[in-house]
Amino acid sequence: MTTQPGTPPTHRTDHRTDALRAATTDQTWDLLVIGGGASGLGTAVEAATRGYRVLLLESHDYAKGTSSRSTKLVHGGVRYLAQGNVSLVREALHERGLLKQNAPHLVHDLGFLIAAYKWWAAPFYGIGLKMYDLLAGKLNLKASRYVNKAQALERTPTLKKQALKGGILYFDGQFDDARLAITLLRTLENHGGVALNHAPVVGLIREGGKITGARFRDQETGQEHAVHARAVVNATGVFVDDVRRMENPAVKPMLSPSQGVHVVVDRRFLPGDSAIMVPRTDDGRVLFAVPWHDHVVIGTTDTPLPEASVEPRALPEEVEFILKTAAQYLDPAPTRADVRSVYAGLRPLVKAAEGTDTKSLSRDHVIRISDGGLITLTGGKWTTYRRMGEDTVNRAAAQAGLPQRLSLTAGLKLHGAAAPDTHQADHWQVYGTDAAHIQALPGADTPLHPELPYTEAEVRWAARAEQARTAEDVLSRRLRALLLNARASIEAAPRVTAILAEELGRDAAWQDAQVQAYRELASGYVLN
């Protein structure tokens, strides 16, 4: 099951079948992690690199939840600084620096311009951002600085010119969230951990009042299996309360989900080399317009929801709000017809007292341990996933009586981490050292679709090396086609499915069902 870093699968392997076999061998794992988003993968990598035996179970696919639907920033959170949450920002800035060192193929520096249209705006934000620089300490990126009107327009030529005074330029990191999740999966496997997708946990196992394992269903066969572990971590994002209720149906919910929406438009709406940060929208939030994979991601919103769902959908008023706010800053401004994709993600915000506004709920992570020993990890953000994993494994090891071992992840290069001089300017960059192996596969020169940057070889690779099982796994998270251009991704689905069928040994009926299922899902990302 374990592949060594740099050992590419050169022939067809059914990666997931191996993982299923390993998951169901009769043994007691040191750690069972439920959920394959940032929190679960971070925890599993932390445990495996300390030498603990770890199994991760994911109900759908890695990063299917919130972890593929972020703003794509590796950041300290300028907004939390404005709220006075200095220690949270310092920790996140430290993690930003570590992630850039450990995954240089997935994280790069990006300039963010705060445009000033009032005389006081530049000095006001400038002081705050100097503090942001200072809090990053040795790991700071480039220092923030004032820019005049001409410099601001050089960096962001489509910025509205009328009344523009200049602005503040500061730096944060940018990344590809789902690709980081897949990179963590590969890192986990390189260190002997086992992870299985399409494997929902459907119940917990309790012996003598203690949680000692879980039952999961293999979605591909419908079979249920039991697994045993010394410690069980619930890292199911906005679904943590569902898993907590498997232990105690009467438990009080700890989360209050809030939805954040983004729209994706063509790069021509923000053609320079910088992002735009709007520090205060009409509803008191921040809004970003960020260049990403030759497109622009614009968001987000903060809409409290009564309950969580697997496929949250943007509300019409959220899209309208984003486009209206963008139009205050961009000229030309994107309209509904320009939106290539719209996606929604759910924030796992830890509940506060009745009547609290979700904008002010905790963005920090929380670890809660139940009477039966179920360890629930939630909150936080992608940027701090490593620290969340470290804290969780410390707690789990203490609770399960595992031998104490030091964390190694602060200096751990993630799978594929490439030397800086091997940087590729195109979409191959996210694969790091794997890129050369993929480019040697059949179809490396065959585009999947004229409006998408991807090739057929990447689909083969996703099936062979990255546990992709469905058209959605490939088009949404191994490649980012669903977010970049939902319509084009629907058109690419039949070819993707045919390649997957070849790789995984599936028949025509399976292909038809896949294409149909993908069309239905992706139509929810198209603005009509």
Ligand X SMILES: Cc1cc2nc3c(=O)[nH]c(=O)nc-3n(C[C@H](O)[C@H](O)[C@H](O)COP(=O)(O)OP(=O)(O)OC[C@H]3O[C@@H](n4cnc5c(N)ncnc54)[C@H](O)[C@@H]3O)c2cc1C
Q: Which residues bind ligand X (CB under 6 A)?
A: 34-40, 57-60, 64-67, 69-73, 75, 200-201, 235-239, 243, 260, 300, 345-348, 378, 380-383
95 or 133: whose CB is closer to ligand X? 95
Tell me phi and psi for residue 206, to 5 degrees: -125, 130
Cis peptide upstream of residue 300 (ω within 30 degrees of 0): yes
Give 44 or 479: the residue with its C-beta nearer to ligand X: 44
* Residue 419 Cβ vs ligand X, minimum distance, rounded to whole Å: 25
Closest to ligand X by CB, 110 or 492: 110
CB closer to ligand X out of 346 and 496: 346
> In terms of CB distance, is 345 or 432 closer to ligand X?
345
The minimum distance between CB 490 and ligand X, in angstroms, equals 23
In the complex, the smallest distance separating the C-beta of residue 443 from ligand X, rounded to whole angstroms, is 29
**DSSP-assigned beta bridge partners for residue 379:** 365
Contact between 461 and 450 under an 8 Å Cβ cutoff? The reply is no
CB of 383 to ligand X, least distance (A): 4
Q: Cβ of 157: how many Cβ atoms within 10 Å?
A: 12
Taking the complex as a whole, the smallest distance from the CB of residue 275 to ligand X amounts, in Å, to: 11
Q: Which residues, including other chains, have CB under 8 Å from residue 7's CB and lie 6 or more apart? A: none
Complex with ligand X: residue 237 or 416, whichever CB lies closer: 237
The residues facing 214 across adjacent strands are: 204, 227
Amino acid code (one letter) for 197: N
Sorted by sequence, the CB contacts under 8 Å of residue 389 that are 6+ apart come out as 39, 42, 43, 44, 45, 46, 47, 409
Contacting residues for 460 by C-beta, under 8 A, at least 6 apart: 441, 442, 443, 499, 503
Please, what is the minimum distance in Å from the beta carbon of residue 4 to ligand X? 27
Considering the complex, state which of residue 20 and residue 34 has its C-beta at the smaller distance from ligand X: 34
CB of 403 to ligand X, least distance (A): 27
And the tokens for 87? 């220690």
- H or E stretch at 80: helix 78-82
Can you say whether the dihedral through the CA atoms of 498, 36, 184, 172 is positive or negative? positive
